[in-house]
Amino acid sequence: QMPRGNLETVHHRALVLAQLRKQLDSLKFREAFECMRKLRINLNFIYDHNPKVFLENVETFITQLNSINHINLFLTELREEDTTATMYPRPLNVPVPSPMPRAKKVDVVCDALRNTMEAMDPDKYCLSILTSHVKKTVPELEIALQKVHDLRAKPPTAAGAVGAEEALKYLLFLVNVNDLYDHSLGTYDFDLVLMVAEKSQKDPKEYLPFLNKLKTLETNYKHYTIDKHLKRYSKALHHLSKCGEEHFPEALGLVREQKLFSEALDLYPADSPQYKTLSCAYAEHLVAQQQPEQAGLLLWRCGEPGRALQAFVSASSWRHALCVAQQVPLPPDQLALLARDMAEKLIDQRRYAEGALLLDQYAKDCEEAISALIRGAVWEEALRLAYRHNRQDIIETDLKPALLEAFASHSSFLENHTALFCRHRKRLSVVLELKEKARLEMLDEDGPDCPDAELYSEASSVMTNSKYSHSNSRISSRSSKNRRKAERKKWSLKEGSPLEDIALLHALADIIGTVDKIREELHSLLKALVLFQYDRQARKLQLAYEEALLMMEAAIPEVWQEGAPQSQTPITGPDSTANSIMASLQHQQRPTALPLPGQWSRSRVPALSPSPWR
């Protein structure tokens, strides 16, 4: 070896790498390896330079190195990083090698080297083979231990071959002793465990009692105990499930503790009492997780209709609840009571049609059913039930007054929303005009070719943001839904707030969405009004809706598109510079980027106009 220190020769890295590339290309691995060690060049380069060539010449590489230590050095230095992309970039004249398979590089190299060494001489390369197991992305400690164990059982005959003792010592040098001990336990092979434990300088008083206790256990229970000790809960459950019924409570506890419900159900036959117990436990868990419907399904299928019914009712899963109730079977009066309860709940959730079905078919109370449908503005269905049960009197007493009420409320809804839309729109044009004025004033101050224009606009946007950065950081941990809500809040509609224009755009889009959404409801109301000769009201309502839609449609291009006031200044022209264009684009893109209300499309506007009652 050369003497080190200040007098060490200076090597130009580019020259060295060029030299190394040549050596590797001509498969002079030994020379390259020596050079790299000397000059501390990362050994990964041997592979990275041309992975394909390396993998095709692994045997040459091993033969040339001809040293367990050197091979181990190479293996232990392996990293996922591609050194030709990071430390030693390829010059332009060096061709890029064909891309390698997606598998992890370290695993590929370890496997290739090990396979070759095992084919060449497993005894000789014993320690390197162990290294290749340990160095894999997920270290194969069990296999390495097994190999050591095999060495002890059948000591190698060749001279100079490594014995079990030495191999184990080497393993302990590579791997943390506690990891190795755990993994030896995980093989369920007590010889191996003892072998490791003896080398581990662990206190025999500590591990021997545990091992001795384990030895007395039945095999499956022994494996379970070990798995649990190693926190391999799925495996533990698997073994425990084979230990017979007397251990089932223990299994149930494990399942509950580790939430292994779904795996547990796979381990017991569906008709066993254990399966049922597990299903119930699972259902309890699901109820606690606010998933009562799924709990109900589990309870029902494992033959617990009573509890299933409870779960379905609390999930408002009324169809399932009724099935279970009729399977039990519940006596008619109780069924009616159940139906009435659920209907009430559904109606509270504005699921009027479903509630009405329950009242009509199960509680046999058509009057209540029709009244629910009228409350929910489900006019046609209300009418159907009235005729089906020959209760046309309800039409006069309830339906018609409700229709007139619905007419009034829809009229004022349209009036209010149209007025609000106009107000917001007017205010928006004022705000945009003010902004445009401010922008022009700023540009004027800077002169037309000022290179700082972009800088200014960036700075101003930063300032606008910083005002809210505090409140943002406060909510960063909340759910994304909350975050979006908070995001909207910061666009305040208050006059003069910094993002008032965006707030107005969102408010306008919201109104369009809301007004557009009542289309179906309005259509069915119009039909009902016409049926009962309320032509005047129908005509008025239809006209109001049409006008609202047309007004909003007419506003869309002005509010959202390029006709908007802020783009009146042309962005390109003889005087424009790169920065002025960018600045004006940045200015423009904000309002344009806001999406139009998704539901809205030009083709949907005339939907009502062919109706006859104009």
Interaction site with its own copies (CB under 8 A): 261-262, 265-266, 270, 282, 286, 289, 291, 293-294, 297-298, 300-301, 319-320, 322-323, 326-327, 361, 380-381, 383-384, 386-388, 390, 392, 480-481, 527, 530-533, 535, 572, 576-578, 581-582, 585, 595, 598, 602-603, 610-614
Q: 249, 248, 222: which is closest to 236 by C-alpha?
A: 222
Structure tokens at 314: 């609390």
Q: Nearer Cβ to its own copies, position 318 or 421?
A: 318
Comparing CB distances to its own copies, the nearer of 62 and 330 is: 330
Residue 593's CB is within 10 A of a number of other CB atoms, namely: 7
Q: How many CB atoms lie within 10 A of CB 286?
A: 20
> 63: which 2 tokens?
């033969």
| DSSP H or E segment with residue 366 | helix 366-375
Evaluate whether 579 touches 451 at the Cβ level (below 8 Å).
yes
Where do runs of H (alpha helix) occur along 135-203?
141-153, 164-174, 177-186, 190-199
Measured from the CB atom, is 143 or 281 closer to its own copies? Answer: 281
Least separation, in Å, of the C-beta of 273 and its own copies? 16
Measured from the CB of residue 408, what is the shortest distance to its own copies in angstroms? 21
Least CB distance to its own copies at residue 452 (A): 15
Nearest one of 129, 116, 176 to 156, comparing CA atoms: 129
Least distance (Å) between residue 82 CB and its own copies: 20
- For the bound state, the minimum distance from the C-beta of residue 550 to its own copies, rounded and expressed in Å, comes to 17
Quote the least distance from Cβ 602 to its own copies, whole Å.
Answer: 7
Closer residue to its own copies, CB minimum distance, 387 or 469? 387
- Minimum distance from residue 266 beta carbon to its own copies (Å): 7
At 217, list the tokens: 């256990």
Q: How far apart are CA 112 and CA 127, in angstroms?
A: 16
Residues 202/229, Cβ–Cβ less than 8 Å = no
The owner of tokens 């039930």 is: 385
Burial profile 249-258: b = 16 or more Cβ within 10 angstroms, e = fewer: eebbebbbeb
The DSSP H or E segment spanning 536 is helix 535-560
Long-range contacts of residues 23-27, Cβ cutoff 8 Å, at least 24 apart? 24/49, 24/50, 24/53, 24/54, 25/50, 25/53, 27/53, 27/57, 27/60
DSSP code for 569? S
Q: Which is nearer to its own copies, 182 or 360 (CB)?
A: 360
Closest CB 372 distance from its own copies, rounded Å: 16
Q: Which CB atom, from 15 or from 578, has the smaller least distance to its own copies?
A: 578
Least CB distance to its own copies at residue 126 (A): 42
Cβ 263 to its own copies shortest distance, Å: 9
Give the C-alpha separation, 111 to 107, whole Å.
6
Q: Is the CB of 34 or the CB of 293 nearer to its own copies?
A: 293
CA distances from 273 to 265, 310, 378 (A): 11, 21, 47
Nearer to its own copies, 354 or 500 (CB): 354
The tokens describing 287, both together, are: 């109820």
Token code pair at residue 129 = 């083979």
Taking the complex as a whole, the smallest distance from the CB of residue 487 to its own copies amounts, in Å, to: 13
CB of 18 or CB of 607, closer to its own copies? 607
Nearer to its own copies by Cβ, of 497 and 577: the residue is 577
CA atoms within 13 A on the CB side of 329: 5
Q: Which is nearer to its own copies, 108 or 450 (CB)?
A: 450
